[in-house]
Amino acid sequence: MPPAVRLANLIAIPCIANWRIFWITMLSRSDPEASSNDAFAQLDQYPLIEFLPDMTAASPPKPSLAHYIVKLARLGGHLASAHDPPPDNAEIRKGLSRLTGIELGIMIGVQLVVH
């Protein structure tokens, strides 16, 4: 395989990951009340619900995309206080990285229990 093809493949992976980060950030800002299913799979939503308690006393009956984005950003270091700006792409990236690690841990744990 020529070096140019290998380099193109190497560059493609971070481009796809960064596109997803930018896309879900902008989707959340343009339509905060959108369904969380638009950007997150069930496997993504479960750890965010179970491991990150809601900051307010009452969680919304049907959490929106913006609700999940804030939870994801909290994994990436966003404080989510009342006067903070919306999460930025760096916090979303860090949160997605940590969420991926949590999901892998869940999958490994399930395999260990099954065997």
CB 48 within 8 A of CB 71: yes
From 1, 29, 16, 22, select the one nearest 89 (Cα to Cα): 22
pLDDT digits (tens, 9 = 90+) for 25-55: 999 999 999 999 999 998 899 999 888 888 7
Structural domain boundaries enclosing 49: 3-114
The dihedral built from the CA positions of residue 31, 37, 43 and 48, taken in this order, carries a sign that is positive
CB 69 within 8 A of CB 87: yes
Looking at residue 68, its pLDDT comes to 93
Report the number of distinct structural domains present in the chain: 1
**18-27 average pLDDT score:** 93
Query: pTM for the whole thing?
Result: 0.84
Question: Quick check: 4 pLDDT over 80?
Answer: yes
Question: Quick check: 59 pLDDT over 80?
Answer: no
Looking at residue 58, its pLDDT comes to 67
Contacts of 86 (CB under 8 A, 6+ apart): 28, 29
Better pLDDT: 53 or 69: 69
- The Cα–Cα gap between 42 and 5 comes to 35
| The two three-digit tokens of residue 5, written as one number | 């093809």
Question: Quick check: 115 pLDDT over 80?
Answer: no
Looking at residue 5, its pLDDT comes to 92
| The two three-digit tokens of residue 80, written as one number | 């989510």
From 12, 30, 53, 109, select the one nearest 39 (Cα to Cα): 30
**68-72 average pLDDT score:** 94
**Residue 89 carries which side chain, given as an amino acid letter?**
N
The dihedral built from the CA positions of residue 102, 29, 87 and 14, taken in this order, carries a sign that is positive
The CATH number of whichever domain residue 76 belongs to comes to 1.10.740.10
